[in-house]
Structure 1
Amino acid sequence: MTKIWPVFLIAATLAMGPALAEGKVPLPQEAHINDQLIAAAAGDILRHTCPTLEARTFVVLTKLAQLKSYTRAQGYDEAEVKLFLKDKAQKARIKASAKAYLSAAGALPDNPDSYCAAGEAEIAKGTQVGSLLRSTK
């Protein structure tokens, strides 16, 4: 087991090398980008679980364009962003964070009504997640 750590550290350093050399935070550690992706994932979970919640498509597309602009302004190129977004481990991490956020907001597994209540609360509070949703009630 101890032999794995040096290999892991070398691999991690090499993977982050270009970003660190350019003074950029590695994408998995960039707070604004990750917060936006977690909010989008939480909104997606809510709208797929609760039949009375829908995506505010125009808002979602606008936020996507803003996030693309932000990533470019931070110096990330399209190829590294795509690589990050397609990475299975990163997708799983973001989805797990979204589920944890929703759980803390009162969404219970196998209880769609709790997802509806959590989504309605997010909308009422005007949170990042709530801004992506609309209620059909």
Structure 2
Amino acid sequence: MRGLLIAFGVMAILANPVAAKPPLRDVPKIDNALLDLGIADIIRKQCPDISARMLKALNYVWGLKAEAGRLGYTDAEIDAYIDSDAEKTRMRARGDEFFKARGVETSDPQSYCALGRAEIQKSSRIGSLLKAK
């Protein structure tokens, strides 16, 4: 009987292989949300007329971390993704593409302001993290 139970246990394990989690960079819900957070941060730093909704941003970050945890990622995996130099470089490149596609001139703070005001007006995720002074 014991041998039969062990055999069933082994078959159950083999029948249900543990699904490997994709890297967090491949989870659009998390990756795109962090990109939006970074874009909002750059806008508020570059535009003197816009500031951050800091409590909202902190809640947003905590919510993302909680969501990643619900998806099965450990704190160590989340921190490794956030702290990775390669991921920071990739996110900067994505942010640069975002700004370029929207006509932001990096040497002109007012172009960041125009984008920030547009994001605020359309109530985008980026705009929800910003406020006009």
What range describes the TM-score normalised by the shorter chain of this pair? 0.7 to 0.9
Aligned counterpart, 1:36: 33
- Equivalent-residue separation in structure 2 for 1:109 and 1:65 (angstroms): 30
**1:15 aligned partner:** none
Alpha carbon RMSD of aligned pairs, Å?
1.2
- In structure 2, the partner of 1:12 is none
Q: 1:56-82: CA deviations, max 9, x gaps?
A: 011101111110110000000000111
For structure 1, which runs of at least 5 residues remain unmatched after alignment?
Answer: 1-20
Give the AA of the match of 1:132.
Answer: L
CA shift at 1:104, angstroms?
Answer: 1.7
Aligned partner of 1:64 in structure 2 is: 61
Tell me which stretches of 4 or more aligned residues in structure 1 moved more than 2 Å: none
Separation of aligned partners in 1, 2:96 and 2:50:
17
Stretches of structure 2 that go unaligned for 5 or more consecutive residues are 1-17
Give the conservation status (yes or no) of the 8 Å contact 2:65–2:78. Answer: no
1:29-77 CA deviation, whole Å, 9 max, x = no partner?
1111111110011011101110011110111011111101100000000
Mapped contact 1:106–1:115 kept (Cα < 8 A): no
Asked if 1:129 is matched to 2:123, the reply is no
TM-score using structure 2 length: 0.82
Q: Which has the larger radius of gyration?
A: 2
- Structure 2 CA distance for partners of 1:77 and 1:22, relative to 1, 3 Å: farther
The residue aligned with 2:47 is 50
* Number of positions where the alignment pairs a residue of Structure 1 with one of Structure 2: 116
Counterparts of 1:59 and 1:105 in 2: how far apart (Å)?
Answer: 25
Identity of aligned residues (%): 34
Whether the aligned pair in 2 keeps the contact of 1:42 and 1:99 (CA below 8 Å) is no
TM-score, normalisation: structure 1: 0.80
Query: Aligned pair in 2 of structure 1 residues 129, 52: CA closer, same or farther (>3 Å)?
Result: same
